[in-house]
Amino acid sequence: MNNIYLVGFMGSGKSAIGRVLSRMTYRRFMDTDAMIVEREGMEIPQIFEQKGEAYFRQVETDVMKSLVQEKNRVVSCGGGVAMRPENVALMREGGHVVLLQATPQTILKRVAHDENRPLLKGRKNIEGITELMNTRMPAYQKAAEYIVQTDGRSMEDIAGEIKGLFY
Protein backbone atom coordinates (compact mmCIF):
# COMPACT_ATOMS: atom_id res chain seq x y z
CA MET A 1 0.00 0.00 0.00
CA ASN A 2 1.32 3.45 -0.91
CA ASN A 3 2.56 5.91 1.69
CA ILE A 4 0.73 9.13 2.51
CA TYR A 5 3.16 12.06 2.69
CA LEU A 6 2.00 15.15 4.59
CA VAL A 7 3.70 18.36 3.47
CA GLY A 8 3.21 21.98 4.39
CA PHE A 9 4.54 24.89 6.36
CA MET A 10 5.88 24.36 9.86
CA GLY A 11 3.01 24.33 12.33
CA SER A 12 0.43 23.28 9.74
CA GLY A 13 -0.27 20.13 11.75
CA LYS A 14 1.67 17.47 9.83
CA SER A 15 2.98 15.58 12.86
CA ALA A 16 -0.12 15.82 15.05
CA ILE A 17 -2.53 14.99 12.23
CA GLY A 18 -0.16 12.34 10.90
CA ARG A 19 -0.29 10.47 14.21
CA VAL A 20 -4.10 10.51 14.22
CA LEU A 21 -4.23 9.47 10.55
CA SER A 22 -1.83 6.60 11.17
CA ARG A 23 -4.12 5.23 13.89
CA MET A 24 -7.19 5.64 11.68
CA THR A 25 -5.60 3.87 8.73
CA TYR A 26 -3.53 1.26 10.60
CA ARG A 27 -0.35 2.61 9.06
CA ARG A 28 2.96 3.23 10.80
CA PHE A 29 3.71 6.92 11.49
CA MET A 30 7.08 8.35 10.54
CA ASP A 31 8.35 11.92 11.00
CA THR A 32 11.28 13.03 8.83
CA ASP A 33 12.43 15.66 11.34
CA ALA A 34 12.47 13.08 14.15
CA MET A 35 14.37 10.67 11.89
CA ILE A 36 16.98 13.37 11.21
CA VAL A 37 17.36 14.18 14.92
CA GLU A 38 17.84 10.49 15.70
CA ARG A 39 20.28 9.98 12.82
CA GLU A 40 22.37 13.06 13.61
CA GLY A 41 22.21 12.80 17.41
CA MET A 42 21.31 16.48 17.78
CA GLU A 43 18.29 18.75 17.54
CA ILE A 44 17.50 20.59 14.32
CA PRO A 45 18.60 24.05 15.56
CA GLN A 46 22.00 22.56 16.49
CA ILE A 47 22.33 20.93 13.05
CA PHE A 48 21.62 24.31 11.43
CA GLU A 49 24.13 26.08 13.73
CA GLN A 50 26.94 23.53 13.55
CA LYS A 51 26.60 22.10 10.04
CA GLY A 52 24.44 24.58 8.14
CA GLU A 53 21.16 24.47 6.28
CA ALA A 54 22.67 22.91 3.13
CA TYR A 55 23.88 19.93 5.18
CA PHE A 56 20.48 19.60 6.84
CA ARG A 57 18.71 19.64 3.45
CA GLN A 58 20.97 16.87 2.15
CA VAL A 59 20.27 14.71 5.22
CA GLU A 60 16.58 15.42 4.65
CA THR A 61 16.87 14.10 1.08
CA ASP A 62 18.79 11.03 2.29
CA VAL A 63 15.94 10.31 4.71
CA MET A 64 13.40 10.73 1.89
CA LYS A 65 15.37 8.22 -0.22
CA SER A 66 15.20 5.69 2.62
CA LEU A 67 11.42 6.15 2.89
CA VAL A 68 10.80 5.10 -0.73
CA GLN A 69 11.53 1.55 0.43
CA GLU A 70 8.82 1.78 3.10
CA LYS A 71 5.19 0.89 2.43
CA ASN A 72 1.92 1.58 4.23
CA ARG A 73 3.23 4.61 6.14
CA VAL A 74 1.96 8.05 7.07
CA VAL A 75 4.96 10.35 6.75
CA SER A 76 5.12 13.83 8.27
CA CYS A 77 7.64 15.73 6.14
CA GLY A 78 9.68 18.65 7.41
CA GLY A 79 8.54 22.05 6.14
CA GLY A 80 11.34 22.28 3.56
CA VAL A 81 11.07 18.80 2.04
CA ALA A 82 8.83 19.88 -0.84
CA MET A 83 11.24 22.65 -1.82
CA ARG A 84 13.53 20.14 -3.55
CA PRO A 85 12.15 18.60 -6.77
CA GLU A 86 14.15 15.45 -6.00
CA ASN A 87 12.19 14.99 -2.76
CA VAL A 88 8.88 15.57 -4.54
CA ALA A 89 9.79 12.88 -7.09
CA LEU A 90 10.65 10.48 -4.26
CA MET A 91 7.32 11.14 -2.52
CA ARG A 92 5.35 10.59 -5.71
CA GLU A 93 7.27 7.39 -6.37
CA GLY A 94 6.37 6.13 -2.91
CA GLY A 95 2.81 7.33 -2.53
CA HIS A 96 0.46 10.29 -2.33
CA VAL A 97 1.27 13.87 -1.32
CA VAL A 98 -1.20 15.87 0.78
CA LEU A 99 -0.61 19.55 1.52
CA LEU A 100 -1.84 20.77 4.90
CA GLN A 101 -2.53 24.51 4.87
CA ALA A 102 -3.12 27.00 7.64
CA THR A 103 -3.16 30.80 7.82
CA PRO A 104 -0.14 32.69 9.15
CA GLN A 105 -2.23 33.60 12.22
CA THR A 106 -2.88 29.91 12.98
CA ILE A 107 0.78 29.04 12.38
CA LEU A 108 1.93 31.76 14.78
CA LYS A 109 -0.37 30.45 17.52
CA ARG A 110 0.94 26.91 17.02
CA VAL A 111 4.67 27.76 16.95
CA ALA A 112 4.77 30.75 19.32
CA HIS A 113 6.55 28.84 22.10
CA ASP A 114 8.47 26.35 19.93
CA GLU A 115 12.20 27.06 19.86
CA ASN A 116 12.98 24.24 17.40
CA ARG A 117 12.16 26.36 14.33
CA PRO A 118 15.51 27.80 13.15
CA LEU A 119 14.05 29.40 10.02
CA LEU A 120 11.67 31.47 12.16
CA LYS A 121 14.47 32.89 14.28
CA GLY A 122 13.90 36.65 14.33
CA ARG A 123 10.68 36.40 12.33
CA LYS A 124 8.22 34.67 14.62
CA ASN A 125 5.50 37.15 13.73
CA ILE A 126 2.73 37.39 11.13
CA GLU A 127 4.90 39.29 8.65
CA GLY A 128 7.86 36.90 8.91
CA ILE A 129 5.69 33.80 8.68
CA THR A 130 3.74 35.23 5.74
CA GLU A 131 6.93 36.09 3.87
CA LEU A 132 8.46 32.63 4.30
CA MET A 133 5.14 30.94 3.61
CA ASN A 134 4.74 32.89 0.37
CA THR A 135 8.16 31.78 -0.85
CA ARG A 136 7.32 28.14 -0.14
CA MET A 137 3.69 27.97 -1.22
CA PRO A 138 4.31 27.52 -4.98
CA ALA A 139 6.50 24.47 -4.30
CA TYR A 140 3.99 23.05 -1.81
CA GLN A 141 1.13 23.44 -4.27
CA LYS A 142 3.14 21.96 -7.13
CA ALA A 143 4.05 18.92 -5.00
CA ALA A 144 0.55 18.25 -3.69
CA GLU A 145 -2.04 15.95 -5.17
CA TYR A 146 -4.52 17.10 -2.52
CA ILE A 147 -4.84 20.24 -0.39
CA VAL A 148 -6.50 20.16 3.04
CA GLN A 149 -7.19 23.24 5.17
CA THR A 150 -6.46 22.82 8.88
CA ASP A 151 -7.61 26.13 10.41
CA GLY A 152 -10.22 25.78 13.14
CA ARG A 153 -10.67 22.04 12.66
CA SER A 154 -10.03 19.07 14.94
CA MET A 155 -7.23 16.67 14.15
CA GLU A 156 -9.78 13.85 13.87
CA ASP A 157 -11.83 15.80 11.32
CA ILE A 158 -8.76 16.58 9.20
CA ALA A 159 -7.41 13.03 9.43
CA GLY A 160 -10.86 11.73 8.49
CA GLU A 161 -10.91 13.94 5.40
CA ILE A 162 -7.48 12.65 4.35
CA LYS A 163 -8.50 9.06 5.00
CA GLY A 164 -11.55 9.64 2.80
CA LEU A 165 -9.28 10.56 -0.10
CA PHE A 166 -7.77 7.07 -0.16
CA TYR A 167 -10.39 4.68 1.24
Distance CA 159, CA 15 (A): 11
Check pLDDT > 90 for residue 97: yes
Cα–Cα dist 35/85, whole Å: 20
Average of per-residue pLDDT across 2-29: 96
What pLDDT does residue 60 have? 95
Chain mean pLDDT for the chain: 92
Tell me the β-bridge partners of 95.
3
3-state secondary structure of 78: coil
- Residue 65: count of CB within 10 angstroms of its CB: 13
Tell me what the mean pLDDT of segment 158-167 comes to: 94
Categorize the per-residue pLDDT at 10 as very low, low, confident or very high, splitting at 50, 70 and 90: confident
HSE toward the beta carbon, residue 57, CA cutoff 13 A: 12
Q: Which of 66, 75, 67 is nearest to 18 (CA)?
A: 75
State the Cα torsion 88-89-94-98 to the nearest 10°: 30
Q: What is the pLDDT of residues 32-90, one digit of tens each?
A: 999 999 999 999 989 999 999 999 999 999 999 999 889 999 999 998 999 999 999 99
Architecture of the domain spanning 3-156: 3-Layer(aba) Sandwich (3.40)
Sorted by where each begins, the domain ranges of the chain are: 3-156
- Tens of pLDDT, residue by residue over 103-112, are 999 998 887 6
Instruction: State yes or no: pLDDT of 114 exceeds 80.
Output: no
The alpha carbon of residue 9 and the mean position of all alpha carbons in its chain are separated, in whole angstroms, by 7
Q: Find the mean pLDDT for residues 120-132.
A: 79
The confidence score (pLDDT) of residue 122 equals 61
pTM: 0.92
- How far, in Å, CA of 77 to CA of 91, rounded? 10
More confident residue, 125 or 142: 142
What is the pLDDT at residue 139? 96
Contact 162, 21 (CB under 8 A): yes
